[in-house]
Amino acid sequence: NLLAVKPREWRRRYHIRVRLPYNKMICNAYQPFLKFVCLNLNLSDCPPLGLESLKVSDDQLESSSYLSVGLGPHRGRLNIQSGLEDDDEYDGAWCAGVEDQEQWLQLNALRPTLFTGVILQGRNSIWRSVLNWVRTYKVQFSNDSSVWQPCMNGSEEAVFVGNEDLETPVLALFPEPSVAQYIRINPQTWFSNGTICLRAEVLGCPVPDPDNPHFSETESGSSDDLDFRHHNYNEMRKLMKSVNDECPNITRIYTIGRSYTGLKLYVMEISDNPGKHELGEPEFRYVAGMHGNEVLGRELLLNLMQYICREYNRGNQRVIQLVKDTRIHLLPSMNPDGYEAAYEKGSELSGWALGRYSFEGIDMNHNFPDLNNIMWDAQEMAMDKRRVSNHYIPMPEYYTSTEALVAPETRAVISWMQDIPFVLSANLHGGELVVTYPFDCTRDWIPRQDTPTADNDFFRWLATVYASANLVMANPERRICHSEDFQQHNNIINGADWHTVPGSMNDFSYLHTNCFEITVELSCDKFPHASELPIEWENNKESLLLYMEQVHRGIKGVIRDKDTRAGIANAVIKVDGLGHDIRSAVDGDFWHLLNPGEYKITVWAEGYFPRIRHCSVGSEPRATICDFTLTKTSQDRLKQILASGGKIPRDNQVRIRAMRMRKLRASTKILNRRREQQQRLNKVKRK
């Protein structure tokens, strides 16, 4: 809304401000002082400008001074994390180079903005030996960065309360919001044993100004009509129920267990035949919210189930094909207790860690059985490494004990993994922009080292698929989130080469089941503001769909008994030259994710003769059918026939008779040798 104002007299410059409380309008005149802007809004509607989410570029931040390059104004971002070394180029705050009350951190919003508040945090350091934070501060505004007006509280300059520790974000709303292009944070007091250091976020609403060159630079949202907001536990249940009501023929809601406080772990199943495993159809899962404060994955999965439902009803052929050929499972909140704690504080005030852990204080991404070291220890002790199991490694006894420190949420997910023959999965996290692939744990407890699996090439393909289709990751101009430059690795990295994580869900999934799983770090901001959810959906939509389609790569088939034609469960499928096997599901069907190429496949099962086939895998996401028929060994076949009360077929009788004759000949030879030896021994004794 624009309101014309014609000043009659003024001295040098002027500023006009009017509040119209009866209709919640806030009006400001701003330079070039030819317009009078009225905004009809609630102050709580003004979102963060994007220091944390990186919408604000480094060029928009300036400071009066800085202690070092790594403590420059570009590091003064809410929740930014320091690098491995203090005082390197990736430190954890802006720190002034001079300790006085004239220091400031300045933001250029690029356009007239109604500034409504500031959030402050202390300096981050992984060593925790640095205690730097600002206790009180002032705020100034400017339209040209030359003349500054203080933020007022009535007739006095406002002084805001800052921090009393390093990590807790503290919000200060301005008594009188102001329209300006620039804002300065001016520290007044700081921790007595530290120096002036802070991380910040600024709240504000852009003001319409057609004459400003950045007026049209509003971030586009999404054309998809989805529920873009944060959903607490009850709201999540309602949304899932609404999707199920809208698409009852292709959706089913079920639970896999409860959290420590009793909240249900809900899963949305999407399939053309929900509730049933179809022979030959692969099972896919997305898991989000393992860390409750990393919330973007939760909202993306809620958006995804809405999107698939609506596009299916609209006749979107890509979605219809996906639903027809795949059984999809979406777990939006693995740690609902942690999420509720973070949600209660809000997107900017939950900090970096509140809600990460379970109610019991367990980090679920370190809570799965460490099967890596069990396998590696067995390989080191074995004379023949080929005899050491490389798949379906059982859980250690201590882990299954009721006294083991295992979260109920973790146990529920493990049971889920064991019940359904998942083929492919992704674990959605937040706080970085990178895709990691197994192994997550290093050998010999090295802090970080590339530790590949036998399927390393395919895992790299999976990670590349998601990263290359993600609009933010694929942008070569984007800024790094914290201290790691993942763009030099094409935004993918071996998990252990980033940092070792013993007991991760990815490694457990690979070593205990047939399922391949990667981790996707979706955003620099763990808890993005609701206003950013539409663009985050657009950033990830294609990646989410494309990654699901990868479940149809490689080979698939059914392993059957030659005589009964029944499926053979638990048969081992071995790819020649690949040191990781898989097993068939209950009905005898199997899926093996493989890159394009020619493969020699060997299949065997207990009581059967092994079978070898050569199978070719193409470049299209369409699995090659590679069925196997196994013949029982003679002894097992005989047991089966006699157990059923049937007669032995003639060919089996001949085979059994020949086998008995071979045994008889072998026994006769042994007896004859023993007689000859005894006769020679008797002759010697007589002499």
Three-state secondary structure readout of 474-496: CCCCCCCCCCCCHHHHCCEEEHH
Check residue 648 and give its pLDDT: 62
Edge-to-edge strand list for the sheet holding 516-521 = 251-258, 264-270, 327-331, 283-288, 422-429, 516-521, 434-437, 492-494
pLDDT of residue 533: 97
Measured between its terminal Cα atoms, the distance across the chain in Å is 129
Residue 178 phi/psi, 5-degree rounding, is -130, 145
Strands 597-604 and 572-575: antiparallel
> Can you name the residues that pair with 287 across neighbouring β-strands?
331, 427
The pLDDT value given to residue 127 = 72
24 — pLDDT class (breaks 50, 70, 90): very low
Helix (H, G, I), strand (E, B) or coil at 554: coil
Residue 284 has pLDDT above 70, yes or no: yes
pLDDT of residue 387: 76
SS3 233: helix
CA distance 328 to 420: 11
- For the chain, give the mean pLDDT: 90
> Which residues, including other chains, have CB under 8 Å from residue 138's CB and lie 6 or more apart?
150, 151, 157, 158, 159, 160, 186, 188
Tell me the CA distances in angstroms from 406 to 177, 208, 617, 668, one per residue in order: 49, 54, 40, 60
DSSP character string of 69-87? GGGSGGG-BTT----SSTT
Catalytic residue among 348, 521, 532, 549: 521
In the block, residue with structure tokens 């089941």: 513
Average pLDDT over residues 630-659: 69
Looking at residue 11, what is its pLDDT?
55
Widest CA span of the chain, in angstroms? 145
Please state, in angstroms and as integers, the Cα–Cα distance from residue 686 to each residue in 676, 677, 679, following that order: 16, 15, 11
Closest CA to 306 of 239, 257, 230: 239
pLDDT at 652: 63
Q: What are phi and psi of 336, to 5 degrees?
A: -65, -30
195-204 tens-digit pLDDT: 999 999 999 9
How does DSSP assign 333-368, residue by residue? -S-HHHHHHHHHH-TTTSTTTTTSS-TTS--GGG-S
> Is the per-residue pLDDT at 32 higher than 50?
no
531 has a pLDDT exceeding 70: yes
Instruction: Please tell me the least confidently modeled range out of 221-230, 250-259, 265-274, 675-684.
Output: 675-684
The confidence score (pLDDT) of residue 35 equals 43
| Closest-CA residue to 297 (of 423, 434, 427, 422) | 427
Average pLDDT over residues 478-482: 93
Q: Which of 128, 60, 62, 54 is nearest to 96 (CA)?
A: 62
* β-strand partners of 601: 575, 613
Is residue 21 packed enough to be buried (19+ CB in 10 Å), middle (13-18) or exposed (0-12)? exposed
Cα–Cα–Cα angle for 517, 522, 525, nearest 5°? 145
Lowest mean pLDDT among 149-163, 379-393, 453-467, 568-582: 379-393
pLDDT confidence of residue 33: 40
Residue 335 structure tokens:
């740690």
> Angle formed by the axes of helices 317-325 and 533-549, to 10°?
50
Return the bridge partners of 198, or none. Answer: 94
Q: Is 468 exposed, middle or buried (0-12, 13-18, 19+ CB in 10 A)?
A: middle
Q: What's residue 23's pLDDT?
A: 38
Peptide bond into 439 cis (omega under 30): yes
Which DSSP symbol is given to 646?
P
Distance CA 468, CA 475 (A): 9
Residue 86 has pLDDT above 70, yes or no: no
pLDDT at 654 over 80: no
DSSP 411-437: HHHHHHHHHS-EEEEEEEE-SS-EEEE
Q: Say how far apart CA 98 and CA 476 lie, in whole Å.
A: 36
With CA atoms as reference, report the closest residue to 132 among 49, 203, 68: 68
89 is catalytic: no
Nearest to 144 by CA among 26, 15, 38: 15
Q: Which residues pair with 573 in a beta bridge?
A: 582, 603
- pLDDT of 75 above 80: yes
Query: pTM here?
Result: 0.88
Quickly tell me which residue has 């609009």 as its tokens.
471
Is the pLDDT at 44 greater than 80? The verdict is: no
Cβ count within 10 A of residue 489: 16
How many Cβ atoms from other residues are within 10 Å of residue 219's Cβ? 11
Pairing verdict, β 555-561 and 628-630: parallel
